[in-house]
Structure 1
Amino acid sequence: MLDPRGSRFVAAVTSVVLALVIVLSSGWLALAQTVVFGIGAASVWYAPYGWLYRKIVARRIGPPPPMREPSQPVRFAQGLGFVLMAVATFGYLVGVPTVGMVATTVAFAAAFAKAVTGLSLGCEVYLLLRRLHVRV
């Protein structure tokens, strides 16, 4: 179970990085964010921004609230971010920046929504698929 404040912090940092990718049209920064999403999809415990939250932020803001969120939907959302940013990285690095821009913008919108409202679009997709009995 995860501290929901941590996933919002991660989404905020991700939003900043993705905004930089959009502004700079940087394939290499997109690649770095793709790796971060890949690590988060494999294990939220080792995700770089989550680690930063646990080691620096969480110690300063006190214990987590009693309500926690399961890690599976968060890992699924990180996997969706990984796919989007893999497409973006490909687009930027092979010279099709429009593909990179569109994929990064979709990822940015999802991360920004999570950071501001706490609503994770990737987690909602996960829950919808589970309700439809799709194995994820």
Structure 2
Amino acid sequence: MVDPRGLRFAATITAVVLSVALVTGNPWVLLAQLVVFAVGAVGGVRRAPYALVFRRLIRPRLGPPATTEDPAPPRFAQAVGAVFAAVGVVGFLTGLDVLGYVATAFAFAAAFLNAAFEFCLGCHLYLFIRTTTARGARA
């Protein structure tokens, strides 16, 4: 189980990094965020760099979380973010800047929704897929 405050912290940092990538069109900034997404998707959200910062520097100053969350939906969200970041990096590096900006903007929008409103778009997509595939298996 994971602390939802850490997930929101990570989404805030992610939104800042993605906004820098959007403003500058810098593929290397986006590539760095892609690596962060990939670590979270492959290694789990507890091992993601922003989660480590939260756990070591911020969480000790806070009380225990009121609730915890299943790490599977945020891990899926990290994978979705990695896909969008990868498409953005490819777009920027191949001269298809529109593709780079659009993919980065989608990733930014999802991170911003999580950071500002605690609405994890990738998590909801994960739950939707799980629900629809579970229903399909029963039919």
TM-score w.r.t. length of structure 2? 0.93
How do 1:25-36 and structure 2 match up within 5 A?
A: 25-36=25-36
Q: Using the alignment, how far apart are the partners of 2:95 and 2:28 within structure 1?
A: 13
Larger radius of gyration: 2
Tell me what 1:88 maps to: 88
Cα deviations across residues 19-43 of structure 1 (Å, max 9, x unaligned)? 0000010001111110100000012
**Superposition misfits of 4+ residues, deviation over 2 angstroms:** none
**Hey, what does 2:54 align to over in structure 1?**
53
Q: Which residue of 2 aligns with 1:7?
A: 7
Structure 1 portions without partners, runs of 5+ = none
Task: Give the Cα separation in 2 of the matches to 1:85 and 1:109.
Answer: 12
* Cross-structure match for 1:64: 65
- Measured against aligned partners, the alpha-carbon deviations of 1:37-75 in whole angstroms (never above 9, x if no partner) come to 00000121210001111010111122222x111000000
**Structure 2 unaligned regions, length at least 5:** 135-139
Check conservation: 2:2, 2:46, Cα contact below 8 A.
no
Q: Which residue of 1 aligns with 2:137?
A: none
User: Quick one: distance in 2 between partners of 1:38 and 1:116?
Assistant: 23
- Number of residues of Structure 1 aligned to a counterpart in Structure 2: 133
Taking every aligned residue pair, what percent have the same amino acid on both sides? 46
Tell me the secondary structure at the aligned position of residue 133 of structure 2: coil
Q: Which amino acid aligns with 1:116?
A: A
Q: Distance in 1 between matches of 2:105 and 2:60?
A: 32
**Superposed CA offset, 1:69-103 (max 9, x none):** 10000000000000000000001111111101000
**Which residues in structure 2 correspond to 1:57-136 (within 5 Å)?**
57-65=58-66, 67-133=67-133
